[in-house]
């Protein structure tokens, strides 16, 4: 069994030999950097292993063998592989949310807000093709892990941004929660579909999503948005 596990993990990971740490790196001031570097090494290895083997088949040993870290070091950061997957989801979700919020706060119309939100999100998806594909491959396990915690913050932030734009007079009163939940769901599913196609069309996918959302909003508001 160990031989088979070693062989499959070796096919995934080629880890460079770790160089001895210099005296400067051993100083107390470098501790935080080392902690961050070790955590990132574990997350990078887990992304690769989960993508190649699938979350269900992957083990903590598979992850460790893709790093230069000892088994004990892994458990200093994560108790199990589920906590690693949750950390991957949280890290990615935070990066997407931060970039999307920054871009849409400059929007001056609802259409512009929708367009830049989807465009920024899909651009990051395209930059992280392997990661997003890994999440898509393990969609079943992700549902079992109750990963709504990864999308709920995005929904809450979009609701807050819509409220801010309403106060600015840029958009009328809308059912902001329904709009936010629909937009986030479209971003997740359409983003995955975009990556599955032979040609990744970020701009076209973002425009489709924005116009689809805008058309629906105009329909349910009897065109009130168009008058703003």
Give the class (CATH, top level) of 82-227.
Answer: mainly alpha
| Cα dihedral: 85, 86, 87, 93 (round 10) | 110
- CA–CA separation, 83 vs 90, rounded Å? 10
Asked whether 80 and 86 are in contact (CB, 8 A), the reply is no
Asked whether 103 and 116 are in contact (CB, 8 A), the reply is yes
Rg (C-alpha) for the chain, rounded Å, is 21
The per-residue pLDDT for range 33-58, each reduced to its tens digit, is 888 899 999 999 999 999 888 888 99
* Overall residue count recorded for the chain in this entry: 228
Residue 10: its pLDDT value, please? 56
Residue 100: its pLDDT value, please? 92
Asked whether 130 and 47 are in contact (CB, 8 A), the reply is yes
Counting Cβ atoms within 10 Å, is residue 43 exposed (0-12), middle (13-18) or buried (19+)? buried
Residue 31: its pLDDT value, please? 76
Direct distance between the N- and C-terminal alpha carbons of the chain, in angstroms, rounded to an integer: 66
Domain boundaries, the chain: 2-79, 82-227
Asked whether 162 and 220 are in contact (CB, 8 A), the reply is no
Residue 66: its pLDDT value, please? 92
Intervals of the chain under pLDDT 50 = 1, 146, 227-228
Residue 228: its pLDDT value, please? 47
The pTM of this model reads 0.73
């Amino acid at each position: 069994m160990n031989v088979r596990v070693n062989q499959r993990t070796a096919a995934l990971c080629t880890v460079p030999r770790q160089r001895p740490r210099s005296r400067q790196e051993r100083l107390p001031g470098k501790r935080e950097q080392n902690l961050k570097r070790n955590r990132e090494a574990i997350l990078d290895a887990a992304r690769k292993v989960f993508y190649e083997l699938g979350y269900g088949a992957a083990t903590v040993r598979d992850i460790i063998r893709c790093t230069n870290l000892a088994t004990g070091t892994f458990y200093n950061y994560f108790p199990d592989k589920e906590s690693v997957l949750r950390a991957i989801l949280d890290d990615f979700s935070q990066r997407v949310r931060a970039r999307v919020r920054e871009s849409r706060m400059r929007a001056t119309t609802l259409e512009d807000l929708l367009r830049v939100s989807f465009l920024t999100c899909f651009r990051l998806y395209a930059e992280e093709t392997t990661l997003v594909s890994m999440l898509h491959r393990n969609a079943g396990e992700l549902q079992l892990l109750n990963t709504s915690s990864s999308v709920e913050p995005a929904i809450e932030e979009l609701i807050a941004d819509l409220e801010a734009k309403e106060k600015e007079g840029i958009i009328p009163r809308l059912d902001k929660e329904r709009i936010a939940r629909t937009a986030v769901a479209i971003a997740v599913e359409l983003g995955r579909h975009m990556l599955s196609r032979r040609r990744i069309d970020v701009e076209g996918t973002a425009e489709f999503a924005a116009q689809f959302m805008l058309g629906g909003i105009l329909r349910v508001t009897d065109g009130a948005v168009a008058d703003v």
